[in-house]
Structure 1
């Protein structure tokens, strides 16, 4: 099956994952599939944005700043000398790495990614080259990254690091600080050589094991600097990297921010990162917490399209999470305790859009298992699985194992759900199929007359957090792509074409 990609309203070729050496074996001895095996199994991770910006909680000199709170230095145009004073106020004695990791594990998360350095240039570890760090510049005097690495080891979670390689509003050569005229400007290459590169090397050599390195906001860097940073991935065997180092540095997986794509991109690993509330960093008075139902359905939706869900939480200045976040993580954990088999190790749904919910799938030893996630319980209790052709199926409710009747109905299968509706954000039916089966293909973008409908809801939007990026507004036939004010943003449409032709 051919795959075409329309990018920025032009047809082009998507860059694939790197394959080094013979048969895709990289310099560290791992193939791409070997690196990604545990990650594909995990499906669910915790993102943690934390830094000295949490001291202000998104407020500066009596003003509540817009957007995410970790951008406060930029949005408030705070001079470096003034911003540095926040470090003296950062003393989160209430932070306990084991508590965070246990909470992530209880929620069903399999990995944790922490912001080692965000755009403000403050290092949350004992940097050898940057005195503006949590050990040397704060009364806390503790290495937060070290504590989290050790806690993840104790509790069996994979650990990853976020690092802002280009934007650094504290270093004279870092990208992004356009307001502080007191900075003695130097080149971006000098910043990379003095700070970014040695810090990345230190993180990948002194804080092992690191499973993921998560770059962010690629911009304004020379090819030489990018190559230098890209080469650090070999310092940790099996290290997974994302696609945000720079153009033509695809990493191991793609990232989508705040928005779940309508269809998962085929042939690549991908992840959706999203804050549990409205802001990545702690924001005082943030009331935009997503409901437990939304969070669980997001997890299911992403898994049904073959992706991972990286859910962000933001500690306060005292090192704890708000009750709203803890309650939601506990509730997700309760759902996962019953239904995790329908998430871990699953692959994308074989169906198109389902009216009643989503589907995940597992295939093993000639048997296929479909996990039917019911968002909207049918009024008559009859769950129709469209376009499925199979000889023998067995169905039961995943929560208590109750068998449910299933029968072929034309080109569909009809499952009769129990009379009593489940009190759950998502109810799961486990459908086991023996032998051969098929699903009628669905291509919502390719029209009968050969035209290709590049609908807004089928687009993948690429924008940088903190910028005024694009988004899909409206739904259905009324959907459109709007607020396109970020010059770095772009749009793409992957299109499935079953046979050669003119389109």
Structure 2
């Protein structure tokens, strides 16, 4: 597959363009990694690390998330200030978390729970006006027809039975179900392209045809693909995994930044799926700083939660959601609907912009004199929290804000009213 950001034949529909604009105002979403892997409490990649697929599949017979409550999930997520949810409909283990006619290996037919959690979640998202995105894996560690990649080689699959056309048709039928039976879906979030990135002959995922089908089924549905490459033709947003755009500390996001809407996904603790001993949750200050830094780059943060096997969101995750929601109610105007600031992130923090308003986010200041490396024609500078005036001076290199003191808080925000343009 050839990456393409220019000279593309794909032209987003007016409906997709509207979705992109709405998506870029949201700035904050919640990722949900949940499946029968939560039963093992070892993370979402557990099947890749030794169990045979037939033994692993037996967990479905005991999967009964009695405490799942779509209303409680969506309410807690909405209260956090997040405006959309991305739900894992089928991860690499091949288990479908929705009622599909394409395989009995799904939450309705294979478990005693017998409920379509995606349908309940979709209905509740519409009731509470929270947008729904759907994660879908291109990989399957259990089906023989999926051609062997570099993962899932110990699960008992028969590599000689690979049948890509058969598997591709299966995926497309499932995608058609997802985009037909669950109401408006604002984005499909693909994963797994990287499973064949070491093939001697480039593997043809036949993405253009798949992307066209999605856009035809739901003209407003955006497509993103976590392939760690510059966006391909037909994609409507760019994904960065565990890193801010332009950074590559995790080794997954070295790709160039495109002009598409941007999203970075990261975890609250260390894992995507539920892992019982992974209690090392990032504190609220760290999570808010990550959200602010992401917005400062003109990107969205998709923050992950791995629900427990009983269907509850972990208590630590709920606590972080509640605390982030409190901060967002007080400071959300500096995040929602903003674009990247006129200069890169600095040692002290970052900046977001909304028209002629700049929000200077002092996250880790070491001085009361804050230098902004941009030529700004400032009409007024005030502390966002109380409206008190802030002194400033200018030189040929930029502007310095002179604060009397900086309180010990998560984010001390200075609002600047400027005359445009900014250099």
- TM more than 0.5: yes
Give the 3-state SS of the residue equivalent to 2:339 in structure 1. Answer: coil
Give the 3-state SS of the residue equivalent to 2:422 in structure 1. Answer: strand
1:73 aligns with 2:60: no
Offset from partner CA, 1:52-89 (integer Å, 9 cap, x none): 0000101xxxxxxxxxx11101112x222101110011
Mapped partners of 2:12, 2:46: distance in 1: 43
Mapped partners of 2:388, 2:7: distance in 1: 43
Q: Which residue of 2 aligns with 1:42?
A: 26
The 8 Å contact of residues 189 and 225 in structure 1, kept in 2 or not, is answered as: no
Select the residue among 273, 284, 288 that pairs with 2:280.
288
- 1:374 to partner: Cα distance: 0.1
Q: Which residue of 2 aligns with 1:87?
A: 60
Mapped partners of 1:70, 1:414: distance in 2: 48
TM-score, normalised with respect to structure 1: 0.75
Mapped partners of 2:180, 2:32: distance in 1: 21
Mapped partners of 2:105, 2:292: distance in 1: 40
Q: Which residue of 1 aligns with 2:131?
A: 158
Gaps of 5+ in 1: 1-11, 59-68, 440-503
Q: Which residue of 1 aligns with 2:250?
A: none
- 1:299 to partner: Cα distance: 0.7
More divergent stretch after superposition (139-148 vs 220-229): 220-229
Evaluate the alpha carbon distance shift between residue 406 and residue 295 of structure 1 in structure 2; reply closer, same or farther with a 3 A threshold. Answer: same
Mapped partners of 1:418, 1:94: distance in 2: 51
Select the residue among 290, 293, 305 that pairs with 1:298.
290
Mapped partners of 1:80, 1:410: distance in 2: 65
- 1:224 to partner: Cα distance: 7.3
Give the 3-state SS of the residue equivalent to 1:296 in structure 2. Answer: helix
Evaluate the alpha carbon distance shift between residue 82 and residue 377 of structure 1 in structure 2; reply closer, same or farther with a 3 A threshold. Answer: same
Q: Which residue of 2 aligns with 1:406?
A: 392
Select the residue among 173, 180, 184 that pairs with 2:145.
173
Mapped partners of 1:251, 1:46: distance in 2: 21
- 1:136 to partner: Cα distance: 0.8
Evaluate the alpha carbon distance shift between residue 428 and residue 353 of structure 1 in structure 2; reply closer, same or farther with a 3 A threshold. Answer: same
Mapped partners of 1:342, 1:131: distance in 2: 47
The 8 Å contact of residues 243 and 252 in structure 1, kept in 2 or not, is answered as: no
Select the residue among 377, 402, 414 that pairs with 1:429.
414
Q: Which residue of 1 aligns with 2:84?
A: 111
More divergent stretch after superposition (252-261 vs 203-212): 252-261
Query: How many residue pairs are counted as aligned between the two chains?
Result: 401
Evaluate the alpha carbon distance shift between residue 214 and residue 71 of structure 1 in structure 2; reply closer, same or farther with a 3 A threshold. Answer: same
Mapped partners of 1:398, 1:90: distance in 2: 49
Mapped partners of 2:257, 2:224: distance in 1: 15
Q: How does 1:145-224 map to 2 (within 5 A)?
A: 145-165=118-138, 167-174=139-146, 175=148, 176-181=151-156, 183=158, 185-193=161-169, 195-218=170-193, 219-220=195-196, 223=204
- 1:252 to partner: Cα distance: 0.8
Give the 3-state SS of the residue equivalent to 2:225 in structure 1. Answer: coil
Offset from partner CA, 1:167-207 (integer Å, 9 cap, x none): 111211124442244647231221222x2111110000111
- 1:304 to partner: Cα distance: 0.8
The 8 Å contact of residues 3 and 232 in structure 2, kept in 1 or not, is answered as: no
> Alignment RMSD, CA only?
2.4
Mapped partners of 1:13, 1:46: distance in 2: 28
TM-score, normalised with respect to structure 2: 0.88
Evaluate the alpha carbon distance shift between residue 373 and residue 230 of structure 1 in structure 2; reply closer, same or farther with a 3 A threshold. Answer: same
- 1:265 to partner: Cα distance: 2.3
1:15 aligns with 2:2: no
Gaps of 5+ in 2: 197-201, 248-255
The 8 Å contact of residues 70 and 280 in structure 1, kept in 2 or not, is answered as: yes
Give the 3-state SS of the residue equivalent to 2:416 in structure 1. Answer: strand
Mapped partners of 1:159, 1:353: distance in 2: 30
Q: How does 1:304-315 map to 2 (within 5 A)?
A: 304-315=296-307
Mapped partners of 1:93, 1:180: distance in 2: 29
Give the 3-state SS of the residue equivalent to 1:358 in structure 2. Answer: strand
- 1:223 to partner: Cα distance: 4.2
More divergent stretch after superposition (220-229 vs 98-107): 220-229
Give the 3-state SS of the residue equivalent to 1:160 in structure 2. Answer: strand
- 1:266 to partner: Cα distance: 5.1
